[in-house]
Amino acid sequence: MRNWLQLRELCFGAGWLATHPAREKITQRYLKKRHLIHSALARLVQEETVEEADEQATDSNAASEQQLETPLSLHAQRLGAVLAVLKQHNVQRVLDLGCGEGRLLSKLLDDEQFEQIVGVDVSHRSLEIAARRLRLDTLPERQRARIQLLHGALTYRDKRLEGFAAAAIVEVIEHLDPPRLAAFERVVFEFARPRLVVITTPN
């Protein structure tokens, strides 16, 4: 500790050491113990580095644990369940009816199993948000060819929806009043007629 204090004083000695009456004695003491001071400083720097690394590792572990412990929202759980069903049935061409802002579409696009993905929504605004979420303008050509966004009402027959292996209808039917629900039922089951229909609702 004494050597550390001497070094500290010498670091700040520019204004007083040159004219100090005991400058030779101070300088000799400093030079005599200089190797000890350097050794002590090296140890201090090493300890600080180890402490910083330990703190960073602790922070990283805490963040990972917190992320793992954060419960999935019900909506995220529903999306995961829909994706699992589609994968289980080895679906390759899928409709997302009422795709909204593209959360399910994003998951479908990340999985190479799905060769043709079509999202349909009545809201232009939602489709714009979905396009940004999916980064359609910067997707590689092969990826971009797999996905299409369509504007359309789900209560009217639309030939663009025919011929798909599956349709996902995630949190859509609760927004339809009974007369429109009947029309939607015909669109899906009578006209589009996918082999598999996966429906979720929070109600």
What is the per-residue pLDDT across 181-200, written as a single tens digit (0 to 9) for each? Answer: 999 999 999 999 999 999 99
pLDDT higher than 80, residue 164? yes
Query: Range with the lowest mean pLDDT among 131-135, 171-175, 196-200?
Result: 171-175
Share of the chain above pLDDT 70, in %: 65
Residue 145: what pLDDT? 96
Which among 179, 184, 174 is positioned nearest to 152, based on CA atoms? 184
Strand partners, 96: 119, 168
- Helices and strands (H, E) in the chain, number of each type: 8, 5
CA 81 to centroid of chain Cα atoms: 19
Q: pLDDT digit string (tens) for 117-129?
A: 999 999 999 999 9
Question: In the predicted model, what is the mean pLDDT of residues 118-141?
Answer: 96
Residue 72: what pLDDT? 76
Amino acid at 7: L
Regarding pTM above 0.85, the answer is no
Q: Is the pLDDT of residue 102 over 80?
A: yes
Specify the higher pLDDT residue, 25 or 152.
Answer: 152
97/94 Cα distance (integer angstroms): 9
Q: In what order do the strands lie in the sheet with 116-121?
A: 147-151, 116-121, 93-97, 166-170, 196-200
Residue 86 predicted with pLDDT over 70: yes
Say which range, 13-17, 151-155, 188-192, has the weakest mean pLDDT: 13-17
pLDDT range class, residue 140, cuts 50, 70, 90: very high
pLDDT of residue 52: 60
